[in-house]
Amino acid sequence: MIAIIAEKPSVAREIATIVGANDKKDGYLSGNNYLVTWALGHLVQLAMPEEYGASSFVREQLPITPPSFKLVPRQIRADKGMKSDPGALKQLKVIRSVFEQCDSIIVATDAGREGELIFRYIYTYLNCQKPFDRLWISSLTEKAIREGLQNLKDGASYNKLYDAAKARSQADWLVGINASQAITIAAGQGIFSLGRVQTPTLAMVCSRYLEYTNFTPIPYWDLRLDTFSGNKTFSAITKERIDSRSIAKELYEKQKQQKTVIVQSVEKKEVSQEPPLLYDLTTLQKEANSKYGFSADKALSIAQKLYESKFITYPRTGSRYISDDVFMEVPELIRKLIKYESFSNYAEKLSDMNLNIRSVDSKKVTDHHALLVTGQLPNTISYDERKIYDMIAGRMLEAFSGKCIKDQTTVTLNCADTLYVVKGSVTKVAGWRKVWNEQGEGKDENKELPILAEGQELHVSNIQLLEKLTKPKPLHTESSLLSSMESAGKELDNEEQRLAMKIPTKREQSELAHNLPSERYLSKECGIGTPATRASIIETLFSRDYMRREPTTSREQSCLHELPRREGGRRSQKKSLIPTEKGLAVYHAVKDKRIADVEMTGMWENTFAKIESGEADADNFTKGIEIYASQITEELLNVKLNLPQIQTATCPKCGKQVNLYPKVAKCSDAECGLMVFTSLCGKTLSDDILQTLLSGKQTSVVKGFKSKAGKCFDATLILDEDYKVKFVFDNNPKGLSKKKL
């Protein structure tokens, strides 16, 4: 009997169909000598401090560095502390039974670092000794699965991948647990969260926000000259900006007197624009955010669904290239798109052309190649899914298309010894840009100038004085934040720049593993987080109330010297990332501490890649992280957080103090356990309402609640005998608990 374990039920069903395991059981499928089960994500995790005999939030017990890490079933929050997730316990029991019945195992969790960790943690927790092979595929089409099953890899060949995944998991535990507890103790109120990746990410958001809000615009002036040649009018701007108002006005008065302008020079050149590389996950997320306002998490979620529906290849890829053997399949994929209405005409033309091979480089392919569509075309998918699919399909067509060739012209005009410049471009061969032009989304901003000759005299139609202001770097959006995470905060303009940065030598890598960096290095692999985890890091900062999304507006309209309080705007509008008061307080407390060092965190990501390739030692790295955890703990225990004073009330259950936090009112006595959440049926309860409830009184009518059915209603509130919030209506004096809504 052979067991197959997938990461999700949907993937398990696809594989089960192919191997003939069609008999449905509770938690697995069986048939044809196969048992196919699934993991439901991370079923097993590293144990919390209590499992090692350490109490939470006790200064004297920090730092917590377990001699060896324990594995436990996935934990969820309970009334008092944490408990094992019943769903995880049930599925682990199923997996244990499946493994016990089999002679060998096929690992079919996602083919990447996290997928490997999910299986290995389950395998280790269950103390399984059965041999296992690895199914390593980049799409879930029937062809890919069958070929993968015929070419299984020895599970031991992925031991280094597991070592890297385990090192990352343990590093996150050591840093996250110790840093979060240390800063919470230092704060003296509330619970705070810090992490190996989330804290440097927060630092990037906050530093950009403060740079923006503290920016002082500096005025400068330009002159604009309007002229024409034949029947074509055009405008030119002074070549050098003017920093003095008086000089600008004086020059303007002189220029207004001029009737003619001379063409001083005409420079023409042909420019070839290579097509963009294929998408990796981060680039897809960035462009989906810029184009449609999708969050990084939403873009990943949609891409994952398209993958599980067999429409695209594996989305959690960090590569923008494909190998030569995959390139052999591209012509057929393009021919398939002839039947897809959105790109039918272009795909038909491209199918008869020589394909561009810029995105073909086997040496630059990591665990998975770049994103491609599969041969299976989508029919009934959602509006948002269609957008992401079209982005991937359109990018594939762009990447294998010819160059875009333009004629670019730069004209310099001389008006009484003042120089003006105007630029124009004409597309000669649209090439890859034609993909979207055919659908009304042209990217070209062509500006065709009249034919001009040096020494030619033109008539001046008008002169204008333009007053302008210097601008700060814009606030981060999720798109720009992803770029900063990818490049460890460095301002790099393109892929080539990132790839050109220096990678550490083995000796230098060893120093990094021991937390002894003597010099800063950066490569693309040196970004913070991974393509698969960056979205979750960003979402963590939202869930921790460290930042929020706000519609991007002009500097004059946004008034960002005060923290915005509301969201709004159209769905596709870009949204800036704005730190909350809590986020800024944390940033100011840790900005000069080790835990906020973006580049150091980036170098650790590079170390994980080195562990995976066998060039660095996982144990040495973990020892270095233990030293680092001790250092940051000492630093954070002594920080001071400038937090707003929280309101308090008397606990109606035990009589002790209740603290009113932004998301919950919580008794200071952990044994009491009283908690009243501030969010109720789509409504945020004010501190005044909470004070009334905690005093045992009934509130006045609160408007704007929304039921599960989406209906709005008004009600008064009161705490019931179990200290749960209860709705009271005019026609129901006994009240109605939230659970019954």
Mean pLDDT confidence for 252-268:
96
Whether residue 74 is contained in a domain is answered as yes
pLDDT in the model for residue 707? 85
pLDDT in the model for residue 447? 81
- State yes or no: pLDDT of 501 exceeds 60: no
Q: Please tell me the distance from the alpha carbon of residue 64 to that of residue 46, in angstroms, as a whole number.
A: 13
Q: Phi, psi (5° rounding) for residue 460? A: -85, 115
DSSP secondary structure of 7-69 = SSHHHHHHHHHHHT--EE-SSEEEETTEEEEE--S--EEEPPGGGGTPPTT-GGG-S---SS-
- State yes or no: pLDDT of 159 exceeds 70: yes
Whether residue 683 is contained in a domain is answered as yes
Q: Are residues 12 and 133 in the same domain?
A: yes
pLDDT tens-digit profile of 330-387?
999 999 999 999 999 999 999 999 999 999 998 888 778 999 999 899 988 999 999 9
- State yes or no: pLDDT of 513 exceeds 80: no
Confidence at 574, pLDDT banded by 50, 70, 90: low
Looking at 621, 639, 658, the residue that finishes a domain is 621
Q: Are residues 388 and 412 in the same domain?
A: no
Q: Are residues 726 and 651 in the same domain?
A: yes
Where in the sequence numbering do the catalytic residues fall?
314
Whether residue 161 is contained in a domain is answered as no
Confidence at 79, pLDDT banded by 50, 70, 90: low
- State yes or no: pLDDT of 519 exceeds 70: no
Whether residue 120 contacts residue 162, with contact meaning beta carbons closer than 8 Å, is answered with yes
Looking up residue 56, the CATH number of its domain turns out to be 3.40.50.140
Whether residue 688 is contained in a domain is answered as yes
pLDDT in the model for residue 672? 85
Q: Are residues 687 and 713 in the same domain?
A: yes
The label of the residue with tokens 């021991």 reads 514
Which DSSP state fits 178?
H
Whether residue 574 is contained in a domain is answered as yes
pLDDT in the model for residue 660? 84
pLDDT tens-digit profile of 8-62?
998 999 999 999 999 999 999 999 999 999 998 899 999 999 999 888 889 999 9
* Element spanning 73, H or E: strand 71-73
Q: Are residues 286 and 269 in the same domain?
A: no
Q: Are residues 616 and 496 in the same domain?
A: yes
Q: Are residues 533 and 492 in the same domain?
A: yes
Q: Are residues 335 and 285 in the same domain?
A: yes
Instruction: Give the C-alpha distances (Å, rounded to integers) separating 22 from 37, 106, 628, 736.
Output: 12, 17, 51, 46
The rounded Cα 576 to chain-centroid distance in angstroms is: 14
Whether residue 335 is contained in a domain is answered as yes
pLDDT in the model for residue 490? 66
Looking up residue 534, the CATH number of its domain turns out to be 1.10.460.10
Confidence at 438, pLDDT banded by 50, 70, 90: very low
Q: Are residues 108 and 18 in the same domain?
A: yes
- State yes or no: pLDDT of 625 exceeds 60: yes
Q: Are residues 25 and 68 in the same domain?
A: yes
Mean pLDDT of the chain: 87
Whether residue 471 contacts residue 431, with contact meaning beta carbons closer than 8 Å, is answered with no
Q: Please tell me the distance from the alpha carbon of residue 245 to that of residue 468, in angstroms, as a whole number.
A: 11
- State yes or no: pLDDT of 194 exceeds 60: yes
Confidence at 489, pLDDT banded by 50, 70, 90: low
Whether residue 631 is contained in a domain is answered as no
Confidence at 446, pLDDT banded by 50, 70, 90: low
Q: Please tell me the distance from the alpha carbon of residue 534 to that of residue 589, in angstroms, as a whole number.
A: 24
For the chain, the domain total comes to 5
- State yes or no: pLDDT of 510 exceeds 90: no
Q: Are residues 295 and 358 in the same domain?
A: yes
pLDDT in the model for residue 296? 95
pLDDT in the model for residue 508? 39
pLDDT in the model for residue 443? 37
Residue 375, domain extent: 281-399
Share of the chain above pLDDT 90, in %: 67
pLDDT tens-digit profile of 663-713?
788 887 877 888 898 888 888 888 899 999 999 899 999 988 888 888 888
pLDDT in the model for residue 498? 44
pLDDT in the model for residue 566? 31
Whether residue 252 is contained in a domain is answered as yes
Looking up residue 382, the CATH number of its domain turns out to be 1.10.290.10
Q: Are residues 143 and 6 in the same domain?
A: yes
pLDDT in the model for residue 80? 63
Greater pLDDT, 737 or 515: 737
Mean pLDDT confidence for 468-490:
90
Lookup: tokens for 456: 């030619």
Whether residue 625 contacts residue 170, with contact meaning beta carbons closer than 8 Å, is answered with yes
